[in-house]
Amino acid sequence: MGVTAGIGTGAAAPGPGGAGESDPIDAGLGDLKTPARGDLRGRSAGTGWRGAGGVVAAGAVLAVLLGIWQVLVDLTHTPAIEIATPSAAFAAIADNPGYFASNAGWTLEEAALGFVVAFVVAISSAALIVHSRLADRALSPLITVLQVTPILVLAPPLVLILGIGIAPRVVEAALVTFVPLARNAVEGFGSVDRDTLELMRSVDATRRQIFRSLRLPNSAPYLVTGVKICAPLALIGAVISEFQQSSAGLGYVMISAYGYYKVSDVYAAVFVLMFLGVCAVGAVTAVGKRYLRWRG
């Protein structure tokens, strides 16, 4: 539809429906080879068991990496002001869980608001783009311009423009998530099977009906991929903006901990942020699995 998939924007390319060609780029939590429903072997082995096994394996790898980090810091006697050990970071969280939780709540709220704004705008512009050549010509270059704009660098001017408060953080989160969402939506709405489209036209289906019963469901796997990519991005966007100006949020925790040389708090905030991101991706993956069973 006139928009070429950009590198690193995560424009997905699943096959047109269940024909089972290529998968969208899966930024999800492992387990890329879940057997299709109806595969008797997979069913009797029980997906629950496999899922649990995967979590255990991933947890083990993570524990080993954290262990190596801990041991290296301990053995080299690196001062705590230069780098925190994982145990120090976890201790910081355990010491003051309410502090981290409430600040995580702020960041989560900003990210979620920004994400929702970006999602709505992306879906609407994609719907316009696939339905109108004019909209395609007008909007698609804009998306590309936005894509090559270093949005993280825009955080300071956004504060100047939008002032103190939640607005610049929400806008930053929205800006970093918009392009991947829009590209995936355009691809999802646009990549419908030509024969199927003619079939619908042969019974005089309206554009709205074609959108509702063909383009929208067709876009589901693309949107799931877009959301998987963008949920963590929105969190990062919010935190970057909090670096500029804020009185709460994980970015605020990091900046103020730097100020007091509480390095372990910085790492603690990073861990909390990562945890939020993993949960978000995990939730989307689970929802996607539940609703995209029809895919080959």
Partner 1 sequence: MSAPLTGRTRDDRSDVAAGITVDSVSKRFRHDRLLVEALDRVSLDVAAGEFVGVIGPSGCGKSTLIRLIGGLAEPDGGSIRVGGMPPAEARAEKLFGLVPQSPSLLPWRSVLDNVTLLRDVGRRTSGWRDPMALLGQVGLAEFASSLPKELSGGMQQRVSLVRAFALGAPVLLMDEPFAALDEITRQQMRYQLLDVWEATRATVVFVTHSIPEAVILSDRVVTMAARPGRVIDVEEISLPRPRHEEMEFEAEFAAHAIGLRRALRSGWA
Binding residues vs partner 1 (CB under 8 A): 17-20, 36, 38, 193, 195-196, 198-205, 209, 213-214, 217, 220, 293-296
- Residue 259, SS3? helix
Q: Which is nearer to partner 1, 130 or 269 (CB)?
A: 130
Question: Residue 285 CB, nearest distance to partner 1 (Å)?
Answer: 18
Least Å from the CB of residue 35 to partner 1:
13
* Structural Rg of the chain based on CA atoms: 22
| Of the candidates 248, 249, 223, 222, the residue with the CA atom closest to the CA atom of residue 236 | 249
Task: State both tokens at 128.
Answer: 């316009």
Q: Which is nearer to partner 1, 77 or 194 (CB)?
A: 194
Residue closer to partner 1 by CB (options 16, 163) is: 16
Cα separation, 117 vs 111, whole angstroms:
10
Q: Residue 133 or residue 293: which is nearer to partner 1 going by CB?
A: 293
The number of beta carbons lying within 10 Å of the beta carbon of residue 60 is 10
Query: CA-to-CA distance for 200 and 190, rounded, in angstroms?
Result: 15
| Residue 38 falls in which region: left (phi positive, over 0), alpha (psi -120 to 50) or beta | left
Shortest Å distance, C-beta 187 to partner 1: 17
Burial (0-12, 13-18, 19+ Cβ within 10 Å), 56: exposed
Shortest separation between residue 33's beta carbon and partner 1, angstroms: 17
Q: Cβ 270 to partner 1, closest distance in Å?
A: 39
Nearer to partner 1, 78 or 209 (CB): 209
Minimum CB–partner distance for residue 296 and partner 1 (Å): 5
Contact by Cβ (8 Å): 134, 197: no
Distance of CA 288 to the CA centre of its chain: 13
Opening angle at CA 134, ends 129 and 136, nearest 5: 30
Shortest Cβ distance from residue 192 to partner 1 (Å)?
Answer: 10
Give whichever of 17 and 251 is closer to partner 1, judged by the CB atom: 17
Nearer to partner 1, 108 or 214 (CB): 214
Cβ neighbours of 154 (radius 10 Å): 18
179, amino acid identity: V
